[in-house]
């Protein structure tokens, strides 16, 4: 079982003030009220945490956390 989802949730908890049980894989970023600036911040943090490279639109406001996990897992580790 991949640990990508819990690691992503940890980033949301640590950097954006969410509680672990406050989010589900079905939540979209816009439902979590992450605005465009917050999505850029999350993109940078995810790159650092997972050692991958993301393009500007890999994490979109209408994506769910579950979809984001798939995007993260599809990227080769570069760092």
What residues are labeled active site? 35
Which one, 32 or 66, has the nearer CB to another protein?
32
* Residues within the interface to another protein (CB under 8 A): 15, 35-37, 40-41, 43-45, 48, 56
We find the least distance from the C-beta atom of residue 40 to another protein, in angstroms, to be: 5
We find the least distance from the C-beta atom of residue 36 to another protein, in angstroms, to be: 4
Tokens for 16, please give them: 């954006």
Please list, in sequence order, all residues whose beta carbon lies within 8 angstroms of the beta carbon of residue 43, skipping any fewer than 6 positions away: 54, 56, 58, 59
């Amino acid at each position: 079982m991949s640990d990508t989802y819990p690691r992503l949730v940890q980033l949301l908890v640590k950097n954006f003030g969410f509680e672990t049980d406050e989010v589900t894989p079905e939540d979209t970023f816009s439902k979590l009220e992450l605005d465009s600036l917050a999505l850029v911040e999350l993109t940078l943090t995810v790159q650092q945490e997972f050692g991958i490279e993301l393009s500007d639109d890999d994490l979109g406001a209408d994506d769910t956390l579950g979809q984001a996990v798939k995007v993260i897992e599809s990227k080769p580790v570069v760092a």
